[in-house]
């Protein structure tokens, strides 16, 4: 079988790389530097924690944070108080949660302009 | 606001209908008792406020108005059902088969049975929740069971057998690993004594890969098995292991054996849903929900890789507990399509809770074809129904770990996606894996398809409606024809048209379809391909069952699952599957370009090349500034070249007359080449370093005044409407289409 193993993404996380955090905050949708791409790949491939998604509330206008249950047939977990008006804001919010899960560092959850 | 698109769902049958024919809508709702119904012709199905927006035209029909709704169930899980027969109720029996379990820990499963769940009586050979083989008998005189000591190993062949002697009450159970070394041996033989003289329940079907929940010849079933069953046998006497093993190993056991009740040959009539019994009892059965046929059996030795070469190696069927091919819903409303309706994309629109904060607006798609043999226009747009089916109810973004990395950003789910996550009974797409990890190779239209309708996810169907919108905006007359009709009627259907357009993503092509376009081009047809990743996979439609398609993904190509060795021939047609590139017909030979890369970070503009200045194509660049980028805008990633892109490759058949007019070859790191473009692995293959990662825009003339224009990009179609349709992508497309509708030949190429 051809299997994608999520644990295969093993680029080491360096909690001191605040430069990558700030690069992401400034430009959540890219293009990104080589190291930030590696960090994002680590986060996206492993789906650290559970896999965060957004749910479209208004096409191309408004999104709600959600989380996949990791099991077929189970409902998508929703976070009705986490609404985004841009995909960039959603991308940053997901990054911040994953950064905290990987490093223990809580990031200022400020939505980028 | 995002409408509620799932509180009522349905499917139209037939999916493609001719004027004058009747179409029925099969609907279900778990929450609504009624909805308002109307029929619409679809012009643009994309609600994106940055684009044209949803555009439909209401048509007066007898369906208009209130329609009562009810909940109709779906029963996923495949099985073979053999109706009851007197010979099945003998006092003693033995049964056996080869088994390749794919999810032995997924919960209790039944492999071979004549068991009634409603009564808790009969016999069944199955697995318990821990993956141990279990043989159970139960009747009025009592019950007994045997459980094997060691669990089955996933994806390992094993011989399994069981017997019951009605005279003594003796039960036996055996499992024998076929590869019994290196820790793979789980063999064991077990016996016990249960009640003698058990009487079996009447009206009980013999079922493979499940058991009956109820009486009758076509019962609902439960405890569906995941995995392959090869050469099941049933005898009317309590045989030991050696005799049963011989009977299972023989591909044709002696039909004259008086003890033989049934010997099923799954290698017979592989393209059908019939399972044949080789015995004189003729206990033939029917398959339900389209399990995977043409599968290698335990005897497959690699000496043939297509089932048509040595069918005796293909005596296995892979059953899945989530197989789903036919909802089998009753129709709720029907209508006759008026003879004056234009061909096109149509839908039944169902609305409810109007004025509330969560209004329902759900569409059930169908296509109206121009009457066969009666083209109404000189131009035809192809509805890529093969591709729509291949992607039907894709759960790729829900299930596959690579999705977020591949799509280069957080995944945005629609309400359809959220529904599909919870409602897997709709059946998934050929991009998905079954719950046991094996690939879905079939797709059908007798089920709601969430992503083939207005307001659906933006790929394929919805993107193609941007071409319809553009044709309407520019006042072009066109017929809509469908893949399934091209498959059935071939070049004869295409030859009625001066020009035929393939849309944003005509990825799935049968041999008949490819031959039709090849013949069309050679006969002077003008062929426009406004997409990317086209003509890529070799598929088959079922020869007799409409709107059922099959793909075997094989060992090459950009695939979300890999076919198993020896299992890459189409069960429907006996043809090889996989990439057309691996079947001697690369897309470059037909349309000049072929798939080379994905780019999901963003889309890009093309740059014009020297060939664009060629006076023979002056008509193509009318009112175009060649110094400016082509398509530095678009609804999908802000460019016309993106998502999936194609390039010229002369070694794969791009023809000598081809003019490479423009290219988008600076796709940056988001440009990821497809696997068949890589000879050896090395760094530097991505778009930031590799000019083979690109979209090419090409033109070439063909025989008898024909011609081909290809854009090599899925994102092209979603750039047509930008800047109120006044843009370079729209202008080039219009220049080409007007010239292609002009019968004047293309001169200056023959020298």
Burial string for B266-275 (b: 16+ CB within 10 Å, else e) reads bbbebbbbeb
Q: Does B72 map to a domain?
A: no
Whether chain A has a CB inside 8 Å of the CB on B547: the answer is no
Do B145 and B273 lie in one domain? The reply is yes
pLDDT digits (tens, 9 = 90+) for B23-35: 999 999 999 999 9
Touching B: A residues 37-76, CB under 8 Å? 37, 41, 44-45, 47, 51-61, 63, 66, 68-69, 72-76
- What is residue B751's predicted lDDT score, i.e. its pLDDT? 61
User: Cα separations (Å) of B537 from A70, B320, B392?
Assistant: 30, 24, 16
Distance from CA of A108 to the nearest CA of B (A): 19
DSSP state for residue B620 in the 8-state scheme = G
∠ CA B709-B484-B497, nearest 5°, is 45
Q: Does B563 map to a domain?
A: yes
Mutate to test the interface with A, among B47, B48, B405 (most CBs of A within 10 A): B405
Does residue B262 have a pLDDT over 80? yes
Q: Are B341 and B19 in contact (CB under 8 A)?
A: yes
Contact B421 A73 (CB under 8 A): yes
Which candidate, B222, B197, B70, places its Cα nearest to that of B139?
B197
Secondary structure of B379-447 in HEC code, one letter for each residue: EEEEECHHHHHHCCCCCHHHHCCCHHHHHCCCCEECHHHHHHHHCHHHCCCCCCECCCCCECCEEECEC
* CB-count exposure of residue B524 (10 Å: 0-12, 13-18, 19+): middle
- What is residue A1's predicted lDDT score, i.e. its pLDDT? 87
Structure tokens at A70: 């990791």
Chain A residue with the nearest C-alpha to that of B564? A1
Q: Does B69 map to a domain?
A: no
- What is residue A110's predicted lDDT score, i.e. its pLDDT? 62
Three-state DSSP at B518 gives: helix
Structure tokens at B55: 């555009």
pLDDT digits (tens, 9 = 90+) for B484-502: 999 999 999 999 999 999 9
Structure tokens at A55: 């749910």
Say how far residue B169 (Cα) sits from the centre of its chain: 48
Where is pLDDT greater, at B37 or B555?
A: B37
Contact B412 A56 (CB under 8 A): yes
Whether chain A has a CB inside 8 Å of the CB on B568: the answer is no
Which chain A residues contact residue B561 at CB under 8 A?
1-2
Return the sign of the alpha-carbon dihedral for residues B297, B302, B308, B313: negative
Distance from CA of B422 to the nearest CA of A (A): 4
Contact B562 A2 (CB under 8 A): yes
Whether chain A has a CB inside 8 Å of the CB on B668: the answer is yes
Nearest to A58 among B2, B155, B561 (CB): B2
- What is residue A49's predicted lDDT score, i.e. its pLDDT? 73
Which chain B residues contact residue A90 at CB under 8 A?
410
Which chain B residues contact residue A72 at CB under 8 A?
399, 421, 424, 435
User: Cα separations (Å) of B178 from B156, B172, B307?
Assistant: 8, 19, 22
Do B395 and B342 lie in one domain? The reply is no
Contact B48 A58 (CB under 8 A): no
Which chain B residues contact residue A45 at CB under 8 A?
401-402, 404-405
Do B434 and B356 lie in one domain? The reply is no
User: Cα separations (Å) of B52 from B423, B473, B505?
Assistant: 31, 10, 20
Domain tally, chain B:
3
Nearest to A1 among B404, B415, B562 (CB): B562
pLDDT digits (tens, 9 = 90+) for B637-692: 999 999 999 999 999 999 999 999 999 999 999 999 999 999 999 999 999 999 99
Chain A residue with the nearest C-alpha to that of B420? A73
Non-local (6+) Cβ contacts of B263 within 8 A are B231, B232, B233, B234, B247, B252, B253, B255, B277, B278, B279
Which chain B residues contact residue A87 at CB under 8 A?
409-410, 412
**CATH code where residue B197 lies:** 2.60.120.200
The pLDDT > 90 percentage for chain B reads: 97
Do B48 and B118 lie in one domain? The reply is no
Touching A: B residues 672-701, CB under 8 Å? none
Burial string for B349-379 (b: 16+ CB within 10 Å, else e) reads bbbbbeeeeeebbbbbbbbbbbeeeebebbb
Q: Does B353 map to a domain?
A: yes
Q: Does B187 map to a domain?
A: yes
The pLDDT > 70 percentage for chain B reads: 100
Return the sign of the alpha-carbon dihedral for residues B615, B621, B624, B630: negative
Q: Rounded mean pLDDT of A59-63?
A: 93
Q: Rounded mean pLDDT of B5-15?
A: 98
Q: Are B526 and B500 in contact (CB under 8 A)?
A: yes
- What is residue B373's predicted lDDT score, i.e. its pLDDT? 85
Euclidean distance between CA atoms B297 and B256, whole angstroms: 24
Contact B424 A72 (CB under 8 A): yes
Euclidean distance between CA atoms B233 and B496, whole angstroms: 54
Do B433 and B562 lie in one domain? The reply is yes
Do B250 and B334 lie in one domain? The reply is no
Do B147 and B199 lie in one domain? The reply is yes
Do B246 and B347 lie in one domain? The reply is no
Q: Rounded mean pLDDT of B273-298?
A: 98
Euclidean distance between CA atoms B420 and A75, whole angstroms: 9
- What is residue A113's predicted lDDT score, i.e. its pLDDT? 44
Chain A residue with the nearest C-alpha to that of B458? A59
Q: In this structure, how many other beta carbons lie within 10 angstroms of the beta carbon of residue A7?
A: 8
Nearest to A4 among B50, B400, B601 (CB): B400
Q: If you average pLDDT over every residue of chain A, what do you get? A: 92
Do B387 and B354 lie in one domain? The reply is no
Structure tokens at B309: 């070469």
Euclidean distance between CA atoms B75 and B78, whole angstroms: 9
Q: Does B71 map to a domain?
A: no
Does residue A109 have a pLDDT over 70? no
Do B464 and B430 lie in one domain? The reply is yes
Whether chain A has a CB inside 8 Å of the CB on B614: the answer is no
Burial string for B18-30 (b: 16+ CB within 10 Å, else e) reads bbeeebbbbbbbe
Q: Which residues are paired to B208 by β-bridges?
A: B80, B112
Contact B401 A6 (CB under 8 A): yes
Chain B residue with the nearest C-alpha to that of A52? B410
pLDDT digits (tens, 9 = 90+) for B111-152: 999 999 999 999 999 999 999 999 999 999 999 999 999 999
Contact B418 A76 (CB under 8 A): yes
Mutate to test the interface with A, among B322, B410, B462 (most CBs of A within 10 A): B410
Q: Are B235 and B244 in contact (CB under 8 A)?
A: yes
- What is residue B425's predicted lDDT score, i.e. its pLDDT? 98
Q: Rounded mean pLDDT of A6-22?
A: 95
Q: If you average pLDDT over every residue of chain B, what do you get? A: 97
pLDDT digits (tens, 9 = 90+) for B451-485: 999 999 989 999 999 999 999 999 999 999 999 99
Going from N- to C-terminal start, the domains of chain A cover 17-103
Contact B404 A45 (CB under 8 A): yes
Does residue A48 have a pLDDT over 80? no
Non-local (6+) Cβ contacts of A108 within 8 A are none
Region at B239 (left for phi over 0; alpha for psi -120 to 50; beta for the rest): beta
Distance from CA of A16 to the nearest CA of B (A): 24
ipTM: 0.96
Q: Rounded mean pLDDT of B337-348?
A: 97
Nearest to B437 among A1, A55, A75 (CB): A1
Three-state DSSP at B738 gives: helix
Q: Rounded mean pLDDT of B593-621?
A: 98
pLDDT digits (tens, 9 = 90+) for B178-191: 999 999 999 999 99
Does residue A111 have a pLDDT over 70? no
DSSP state for residue B341 in the 8-state scheme = P
Q: Does B373 map to a domain?
A: no
State phi, psi for B194 to the nearest 5 degrees.
-115, -165
Contact B415 A56 (CB under 8 A): yes
DSSP state for residue B283 in the 8-state scheme = -
Distance from CA of B399 to the nearest CA of A (A): 8
Whether chain A has a CB inside 8 Å of the CB on B398: the answer is yes
**CATH code where residue B424 lies:** 3.40.50.880
Nearest to B413 among A29, A31, A53 (CB): A53
Q: Does B70 map to a domain?
A: no
pLDDT digits (tens, 9 = 90+) for B217-236: 999 999 999 999 999 999 99
What is the span of the domain harbouring residue B191?
80-288+290-319
User: Cα separations (Å) of B286 from B82, B181, B231, B367, B533?
Assistant: 7, 37, 16, 31, 37
Do B123 and B222 lie in one domain? The reply is yes
Contact A31 B435 (CB under 8 A): no
Query: Which residue do the tokens 């930030």 mark?
Result: A36
pLDDT band at B1 (very low <50, low <70, confident <90, very high): confident
Do B667 and B563 lie in one domain? The reply is yes
Which candidate, B619, B631, B626, places its Cα nearest to that of B721?
B631
Nearest to A91 among B50, B401, B409 (CB): B409
Whether chain A has a CB inside 8 Å of the CB on B197: the answer is no
pLDDT digits (tens, 9 = 90+) for B589-603: 999 999 999 999 999
């Amino acid at each position: 079988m051809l299997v994608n193993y999520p644990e295969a993404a093993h680029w080491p996380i360096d909690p001191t790389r605040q430069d990558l955090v700030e690069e992401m905050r400034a430009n959540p949708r890219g293009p990104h530097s080589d190291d930030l791409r590696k960090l994002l790949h680590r986060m996206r491939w492993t789906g650290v924690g559970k896999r965060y998604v957004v749910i479209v509330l208004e096409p191309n206008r408004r999104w709600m944070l959600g989380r996949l249950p990791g099991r077929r047939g189970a409902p998508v977990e929703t976070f009705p108080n986490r609404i985004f008006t841009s995909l960039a804001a959603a991308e940053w919010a997901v990054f911040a949660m994953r950064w905290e899960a990987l490093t223990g560092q809580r990031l200022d959850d400020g939505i980028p302009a | 606001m995002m409408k509620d698109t799932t509180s009522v769902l349905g499917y139209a049958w037939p999916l493609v209908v001719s004027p004058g024919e009747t179409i029925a809508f099969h609907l279900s709702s778990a929450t609504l008792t009624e909805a308002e119904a109307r029929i619409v012709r679809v012009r643009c199905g994309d609600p994106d406020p940055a684009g044209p927006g949803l555009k439909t035209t209401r048509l007066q029909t007898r369906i208009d108005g209130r329609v009562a709704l009810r909940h109709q169930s779906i029963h996923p899980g495949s099985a073979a059902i053999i109706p009851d027969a007197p010979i099945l109720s003998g006092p003693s029996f033995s049964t056996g088969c080869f088994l390749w379990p794919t999810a032995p820990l997924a919960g209790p499963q039944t492999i071979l049975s004549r068991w009634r769940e409603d009564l808790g009586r009969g016999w069944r050979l199955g697995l318990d929740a821990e993956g141990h083989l279990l043989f159970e008998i139960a009747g009025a005189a009592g019950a007994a069971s045997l459980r094997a000591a060691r669990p089955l190993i996933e994806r390992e062949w094993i011989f399994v057998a069981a017997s019951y002697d009605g005279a003594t009450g003796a039960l036996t159970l055996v499992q024998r690993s076929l590869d019994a070394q290196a820790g793979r041996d789980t063999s064991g033989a077990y016996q016990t004594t249960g009640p003698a003289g058990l009487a079996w329940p009447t009206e009980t079907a013999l079922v493979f890969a499940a058991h009956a929940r109820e009486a009758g010849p076509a019962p609902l079933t439960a405890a569906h098995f995941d995995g392959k069953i090869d050469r099941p046998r049933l005898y009317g006497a309590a045989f030991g292991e050696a005799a049963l093993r011989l009977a299972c190993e023989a591909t044709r056991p002696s039909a004259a054996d008086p003890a033989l009740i049934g010997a099923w040959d799954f290698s017979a009539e592989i393209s059908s849903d019939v399972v044949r019994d080789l015995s004189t009892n003729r206990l033939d059965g029917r398959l339900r929900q389209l399990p995977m046929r043409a599968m290698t059996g335990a005897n497959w030795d690699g000496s043939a890789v297509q089932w048509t070469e040595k069918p005796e190696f293909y005596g296995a069927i892979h059953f899945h507990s989530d197989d789903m091919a036919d909802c089998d819903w009753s129709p709720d409303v029907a209508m006759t399509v008026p003879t004056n309706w234009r061909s096109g994309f149509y839908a039944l629109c169902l609305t409810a809770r109007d004025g509330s904060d969560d209004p329902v607006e759900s569409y059930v798609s169908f296509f109206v074809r121009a009457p066969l043999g009666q083209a109404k226009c000189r131009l035809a747009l192809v509805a890529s129904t093969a591709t729509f089916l291949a992607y039907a109810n894709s759960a790729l973004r829900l299930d596959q770990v690579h999705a977020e990395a591949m799509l280069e950003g957080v995944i945005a789910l629609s309400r359809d996606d959220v529904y599909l996550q919870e409602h897997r009974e709709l059946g998934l797409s050929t991009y998905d894996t079954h719950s046991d990890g094996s690939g879905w190779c079939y797709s059908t239209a007798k089920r709601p398809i969430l992503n083939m309708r207005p307001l659906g996810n933006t790929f394929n169907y919805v993107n193609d409606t941007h071409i319809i919108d553009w044709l309407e905006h520019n006042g072009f007359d066109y017929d809509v024809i469908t893949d399934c009709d091209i498959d059935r009627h071939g070049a004869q259907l295409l030859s009625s048209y001066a020009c035929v357009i393939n849309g944003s993503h005509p990825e799935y092509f049968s041999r008949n379809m490819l031959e039709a376009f090849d013949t069309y081009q050679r006969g002077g047809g003008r062929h426009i391909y406004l997409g990317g990743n086209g003509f890529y996979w070799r598929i088959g439609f079922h020869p007799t069952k409409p709107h059922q398609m099959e793909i075997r993904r094989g060992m090459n190509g950009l695939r979300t699952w890999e076919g198993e060795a020896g299992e890459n021939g189409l069960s429907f047609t006996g043809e090889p599957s996989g990439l057309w590139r691996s079947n001697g017909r690369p897309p470059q030979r037909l349309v000049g370009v072929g798939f080379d890369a994905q780019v999901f970070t963003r889309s890009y503009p093309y740059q014009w090349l020297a060939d664009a200045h060629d006076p023979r194509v002056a008509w193509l660049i009318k009112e175009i500034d060649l110094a400016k980028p082509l398509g530095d805008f678009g609804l999908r990633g802000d460019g016309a070249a993106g998502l999936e892109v194609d390039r010229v490759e002369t070694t794969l058949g791009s023809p000598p007359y081809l003019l490479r007019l423009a290219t988008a070859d600076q796709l940056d790191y988001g440009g990821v080449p497809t696997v068949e473009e890589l000879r050896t692995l090395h760094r530097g293959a991505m778009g930031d370093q590799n000019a083979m990662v690109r979209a090419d825009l090409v033109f070439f003339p063909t025989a008898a005044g024909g011609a081909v224009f290809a854009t090599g990009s899925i994102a092209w179609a979603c750039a047509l409407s930008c800047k109120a349709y006044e843009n370079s992508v729209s202008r080039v497309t219009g220049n080409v289409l007007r010239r292609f509708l002009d019968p004047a030949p293309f001169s200056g190429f023959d020298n």
